[in-house]
Structure 1
Amino acid sequence: MKFPTTLIQSGVMAASLALLAPVAALAADVSIRLGHVLPESHSWHAAATGFADEVNTRTDGRVEIEVFPSGQLGSEKEVIEGLQFGSVQAGLIGSGSFQGVEPRMGIIEMPYAWASREQAFAALDGDLGSALADMLDSKGIKVLGWWENGFRNITNNVRPIEKPEDLSGLKIRVTPDKVRLATFETLGAEPAPLSFGELYSALQQGLFDAQENPLAIIYSASFFEVQKYVSLSEHIWGAATLTMSKSVWDKISPEDQAIVAEAATSWGLKQRDMVADANDELIEKLKAEGMSFNEVDKAAFMEAVAPIWESQQDVYGEELLSILNTYRK
């Protein structure tokens, strides 16, 4: 039997389309590079890897996430810029680093804003977190979850810091945001910004006397090798913000977006537990490495930084400050 030429051509075309279908499906998959600046030994990396593995498995590879630690994708400032342009697909970033694109994000890391980590998470899991997520969304950045950086403490090589006056003249590295700089200038130190990736060598070379970070970072970054004193100031509590480029998020199907959101929440809770469980152990580990610990006069520190709160009222606005204060009562 002879088939018409047109029928043969149609069959060939249908077969060709069938062969191309799997290729088209593969092309629709979303590949995501997730960057952060901390080492693989930190809870950020453990939780980010768990998050990535869960998403990869539950979406059957439709959404594929690969985690890049230790600043492999750039500094936090560079990752944030990449998120806005879509050149970096996702990041786990300290909340204060977003002040360059949205100054009101600094409200999370105001000095002595939080009496406890539980108070902070109540706010971020509630109305304050929703308001801040909306602000970043308008900048092209999707907030997937509020993880934890923790309470920051001061380390230095000169003397124990017990009261604000003890900071006088100390060269201290701070994160590159105006509020942090103003806070330590008010406390009498000599602060200067520097990317995290350069901090260890700067301390080693004596370019800075001091730095401030949570205990987990002090340990995982081996700052005990280049710093002597740890003063438990707990002057700032910071969140870790799990984010994705909005342009990438919009490429993910609604069904897979739900999976990503669920995994971000569950691994965020696990990461918070990692931070809470490790605190006492970290103090003992750092002492074993030769670091000397002391308490500080927190009331004196709180009084000293009160002008910072007054100076930021116009930045944050009455509405956002009202939301914040709801949770601080």
Structure 2
Amino acid sequence: MTFRTRITAGVALALCLAVLALPGAGTAAEPRITLRYAHCCPADQAFGIYAHDFADRVATLSNGEIAVEVLDGGVMGSEQATAQKVQLGVVQMAGITSNNVAQLAPSLNVLVLPYMTSSVDQLTGEGGLLRAGPYRDELAKRVLDESGSLKVVGGYTNSFRSLFAKDKCIDELADLQGLKIRAPKNPVMTAMWDAWGVSTYPIAWSETYGAVAQGVVDAFDSPTDVILKMGFYEHIKYITEATYLPMAGVVIANNDWLEGLDEADRTVILKAADEADKAHAAWVKKVGAEVRGALKDDHGVTFCELKDPEEWQSRARGAWPELYKLVGGGKDWVDATVTYLETGEVK
């Protein structure tokens, strides 16, 4: 090696050492933006599947410049409390069942009307109420107007709510009598139970497992995957899958925070949510049969079937007129939703 070569090599080595000494050299760059996304449930349950998929898509689309910190398991409190935290900007985003956001934006109660929809596709399929499109645009506008700060940017479901009981099959309306039933504290949902002649216990979701285990309640309703993913099968042995009400989850963002982003970053958030909506809808269809099989084969759960579904629907839909006052926009918004489901047009 010549003297000149040694000098060149020495300079190169010095430059490499200088670069490695710089702050952050040799490590991944820190995200420019970190947002917190909260939801109620375990990471492997439907709410968590959506949240973590959304986070991964944001990271990919932003080349790691935007990070999503997913807050699993209801660590921000009840869903109603979490919705309020998004409204105030304490948390930037959340995935929450529509009935628990309706306290802040009553137009969402239209999604809680019993038998408004009859299939998952009407909710999250192409042209569904929660899929990006003209109906959700109108819904988002109403939610923002009513709440002052909540923007609907996505939507998902894990199918319709099923009836769960500890000790017996629920296969006709008469079977509800005498049961201590937990139900969300939502006036539209309460009216549905009233139409069936049942009084319910408005216990917070975070307290439901304990209430079932201790015998405070002996029945409740929720989508079927909740029983498997949250361990309710230890106490729940009978499931009646019905189609009176889907779990309609809305992804909400604090609008001031969202609008405060530059256009490119905001586009990443919205595109990631749109992609997650579509992927989650496909995932729900895929796992439904797997969940039922696991509950039946691995945990001894019995699936029951309604003998009188027409009676359930007739009574529940008969309560709609008294519920119009609880829906933001009243009968006009309800009628517009029905028309959209029938024609695909928002009028």
TM-score normalized with structure 1 length = 0.87
Deviation of residue 216 (structure 1)?
1.2
Partner of 2:245: 236
Contact 1:181 1:192 in 2 (8 A): no
- SS of the equivalent of 1:244 reads strand
How far apart, in 2, do the equivalents of 1:145 and 1:92 lie? 9
Corresponding residue for residue 130 of structure 1: 137
Secondary structure of the corresponding residue to residue 286 of structure 1: helix
Q: Does 1:31 align with 2:44?
A: no
2:153 counterpart SS class? strand
Q: Is the 8 A contact 2:130 2:156 kept in 1?
A: no
Indicate the residue corresponding to 2:43 in structure 1.
40
Q: Rate the CA distance shift 1:130–1:113 in 2: closer, same or farther, 3 A.
A: same
Q: Which amino acid aligns with 1:128?
A: Y
2:73 matched to 1:84? no
Question: Is 1:266 paired with 2:266?
Answer: no
- Secondary structure of 2:137's counterpart equals helix
Aligned residue for 2:247, secondary structure, equals: strand
Contact 1:35/1:79 (<8 A) preserved: yes
What SS is found at the alignment partner of 2:340? helix
Partner of 2:18: none
Count how many residue pairs are aligned between Structure 1 and Structure 2: 305
Contact 1:30 1:251 in 2 (8 A): no
Aligned counterpart for 1:290 among listed residues 269, 283, 300: 300
Tell me by how many angstroms 1:42 deviates.
Answer: 0.9
The 2-side partners of 1:246 and 1:27 are apart by 25
Match of 1:14 in 2: none
Contact 1:94 1:149 in 2 (8 A): no
Q: 1:124 Cα deviation (Å)?
A: 3.0
Q: What runs of 5+ residues in structure 1 fail to find an aligned partner?
A: 1-25
* SS of structure 1 residue aligned to 2:303: strand
Distance, in Å, in 2 between the alignment partners of 1:53 and 1:120 is: 24
CA distance in 2, matches of 1:232, 1:134: 33
Secondary structure of 1:250's match? helix
In structure 1, the partner of 2:338 is 325
Q: 2:171 aligns with which of 141, 152, 162?
A: 162
The 8 Å contact of residues 44 and 271 in structure 1, kept in 2 or not, is answered as no
Partners in 2 of 1:64 and 1:146 — Cα distance? Answer: 20
**Would the aligned equivalents of 2:118 and 2:244 in 1 still touch at CA under 8 Å?**
no
Unaligned runs of 5+ in 2: 1-28, 343-347
User: Helix, strand or coil: the match of 2:260?
Assistant: coil
| Distance in 1 between residues matched to 2:336 and 2:123, nearest whole Å | 12
C-alpha separation in 2, matches of 1:135 and 1:143 = 10
Is the partner of 1:160 in helix, strand or coil?
Answer: coil
Alignment of 1:308 with 2:315, yes or no, is no
More moved, 204-213 vs 51-60: 51-60
Deviation of residue 280 (structure 1)? 1.5
Instruction: Return closer, same or farther for 1:202/1:188 CA change in 2, 3 Å cut-off.
Output: same
Instruction: Judge conservation of contact 1:124–1:130 (CA < 8 Å) in 2.
Output: no
Separation in 1 of the partners of 2:107 and 2:178?
30
Deviation at 1:27, TM superposition (A): 11
Alpha carbons 2:107, 2:143 under 8 Å: kept: no
Deviation at 1:314, TM superposition (A): 3.4
Q: What secondary structure is seen at the aligned counterpart in 1 of 2:43?
A: coil
Asked if 2 retains the 8 angstrom alpha-carbon contact of 1:174 and 1:193, the reply is yes
Task: State the superposition RMSD in angstroms.
Answer: 2.0
What is the aligned partner in structure 2 of residue 212 from structure 1?
221
Give the 3-state SS of the residue equivalent to 1:136 in structure 2. Answer: helix
Give the Cα separation in 2 of the matches to 1:322 and 1:124: 17
Question: Identity, % of aligned pairs?
Answer: 26
Separation (CA, whole Å) in 2 of partners of 1:192 and 1:128: 33
- Structure 1 stretch displaced more, 190-199 or 78-87: 190-199
CA distance in 2 between partners of 1:198 and 1:315 (Å): 26
Contact 1:249 1:257 in 2 (8 A): yes
